[in-house]
């Protein structure tokens, strides 16, 4: 059994901070459970372009409001506490928080915590080996 609190994650290697968002990686690939779980806060007024070409992501909004743009269709969806979006088709999307938005995100396959978005907003597929992470 694994039990963690967000305070265990803060200011560690699993606490990723950028100018647009902060992501606390609570469960990672090293746990070998088939998914990862993150608490991510997207900052008000930012524009965030993402495309998880190698992952499926589900995002549940806990606090705050914003919108998500489906880049393929141009459709915009409003986001508020209780909303969930599932990027089941590796959808290219843009998230625009109106207020700080606190979310809980689940990734499959799980992330290792060392991924960095590339110029297209894509995480590389990094898998945990028994000794170290291997990028593919």
Q: Tens of pLDDT along the chain (136 residues)?
A: 999 999 999 999 999 999 999 999 999 999 999 999 999 999 999 999 999 888 999 999 999 999 999 999 999 999 999 999 999 999 999 999 999 999 999 999 998 876 666 666 566 566 665 444 444 4
List the domains of the chain with CATH numbers: 6-108 (2.60.120.10)
Task: Give the model's pLDDT for residue 47.
Answer: 98
Q: Where are the beta strands (DSSP E) in the chain?
A: 15-17, 21-27, 36-42, 48-51, 56-63, 66-70, 76-79, 84-86, 92-97, 101-108, 126-128, 133-135
pTM of structure: 0.86
């Amino acid at each position: 059994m694994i039990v963690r609190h967000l305070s265990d994650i803060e200011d560690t290697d699993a606490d990723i901070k950028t100018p647009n968002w902060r992501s606390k990686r609570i469960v990672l690939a090293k746990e070998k459970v088939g998914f990862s779980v993150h608490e991510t806060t997207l900052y008000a007024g930012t524009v965030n372009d993402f495309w998880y070409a190698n992952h499926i992501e589900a995002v549940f909004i806990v606090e705050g409001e914003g919108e998500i743009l489906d880049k393929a269709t141009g459709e915009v969806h409003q986001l508020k506490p209780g909303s969930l979006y599932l990027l089941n088709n590796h959808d290219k999307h843009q998230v625009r928080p109106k207020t700080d938005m606190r979310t809980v995100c689940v990734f499959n396959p799980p992330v290792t915590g060392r991924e960095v978005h590339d110029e297209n907003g894509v995480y590389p597929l990094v898998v945990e080996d028994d000794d170290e992470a291997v990028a593919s």
